[in-house]
Structure 1
């Protein structure tokens, strides 16, 4: 099994180090570019202020696009969903802890 490597992606001019298997690096970088583009669209509209709100709106927009395309994944078991949510929250917490406090307010 291949060990994850740390890949740093940039979203809204901020660096986020993320653990990723080497064979998934290109997909991660592509996803980060897509998320960055969506967040920039929202920020540039001038209607939303704050990186947290921009991120939530971008996530909702991306989820909506997936649902419209019929690309929603099959419903996982409730335990699987809870575990995946915990993993994602842990990643978000780690990324936020690595950012200086002054950057979190922007």
Structure 2
């Protein structure tokens, strides 16, 4: 029996991490890593927090808060939201590759 999990390399704050994930979750994990990295950069640019650990915690806390607020919203389907993000990303990649 073949293992459906494989290692995915992501980079957060200049550090590489190997994440074990199923193939079907690969796109979402990459998207999540990009989203986290963007949030980290925004917090860094504000200049209010200097310590790297605190920056990551602030970013993760902000993202977790947003997720909880979205989950509490009536009619929100997280799976549909993830599918839409993946489709938008694929369309953007196709457009950028053609240029």
Q: Report the TM-score range of the alignment, normalised by the length of the smaller protein.
A: 0.5 to 0.7
Q: Which runs of 5+ in 1 are unaligned?
A: 73-106
Distance verdict in 2 for CA 1:3–1:71, change over 3 Å: farther
RMSD, matched Cα: 1.9
For residue 68 of structure 1, report the CA deviation from its aligned partner: 2.2
Whether the 8 Å contact between 1:11 and 1:36 is mirrored in structure 2 is yes
Q: How many residues align structurally?
A: 72
Q: So what's the TM-score if we normalise by structure 1?
A: 0.60
Q: How many angstroms apart in 2 are the aligned matches of 1:30 and 1:71?
A: 22
Moved more, 41-50 or 24-33: 41-50
Equivalences for residues 55-94 of structure 1 within 5 A: 55-70=56-71
Which residue in 1 is equivalent to 2:38? 37
TM-score (norm 2): 0.64
Q: d(CA) in 1 for partners of 2:28 and 2:68?
A: 20
- 1:17–1:23 Cα change, 3 Å: same
Larger Rg, first or second structure (1 or 2) = 2
Q: Any idea what the Cα deviations from partners look like across 1:13-60, whole Å, max 9, x if unmatched?
A: 221111111111101000000111111111111111122101110111
Find the residue that maps to 2:33 and give its secondary structure.
helix
